Amino acid sequence: MTRIDNSHIISDEEFFSFLSKRKGVLDGVCVTGGEPLLQPDLKDFIAKIKEKGFLVKLDTNGALPEKLKDIISSDLVDYIAMDIKNTPEKYAVTCGMEEISPDDIYKSINLIINSGKEYEFRTTAVREFHTPEDFKAIAGMIKGAKAYYIQNFVDSGDTIVKGFSPLNENDLQEARAEALKILDKVEIRGI
C-alpha cells in the first residue's frame, strides 16, 4: 500500500498506474514519510520507480544507516535529503525520545557526504527546540557538506504535539550566520 496523504491509501498497482500515465509530465518521485527506511519493501518499491524511468529523491532522518547504505550502494536514489534534528545534546528531546545515540546519525551523514549523490542537509527551526547558537553545532555535525538549509517551522495544524512556533527573521539570520562559521553554503527557507 502507498499513502498519498493522511487520508488516502492506494495500492501499489494504482500508484504505478498513475506513474505510467504521468510519464513525460513528472520527472521524479520523492519518497518521504515518516521515515521511509522503516518500510521493509522500500528497496523493491524504489527499484520499480527507477525501472519506469523516474528520478528518485529520498527523505530520511538518518536513523537507519545500514538500510541507507544498501539503497545508496544499489544506485536507487538520485538525491538524498536528510533532516538534522538538532545538536547531539538536544537530539533526543527534539525527536520526542528519552535518549538517542548520535552514532547512527553521524554514520548516515558520512554515507551521504561520500555517496557521490546529490544531497542536502536541513533542519526545521523551532523556537522551542533551537537557539541561533545551536546552528553552529549542527553545522559542525555536517562539516564538509555542500549545502545546508534552515527551514523555518510552519504550523500545519497536524503536529503530534501542539504549541510549537517558528523562529523570527532576526533569529533565523543569526542562525545562518552561526552555521556559516563552519559551512560555505547555508540558506534559509520559509521566510
Averaged over successive runs of 10 residues, the pLDDT of the chain (191 residues) comes to 61 92 93 92 96 96 95 98 95 81 93 97 96 97 97 83 89 97 95 75
Distance (Å, whole) CA 169 – CA 174: 9
Strand order in the sheet with 79-83: 28-31, 55-60, 79-83, 118-125, 148-152, 186-189
pTM for this prediction: 0.91
Q: What is the pLDDT of residue 132?
A: 94
Q: What is the pLDDT of residue 159?
A: 73
Residue 135: CB partners within 8 Å, gap ≥ 6? 123, 150, 175, 176, 178, 179
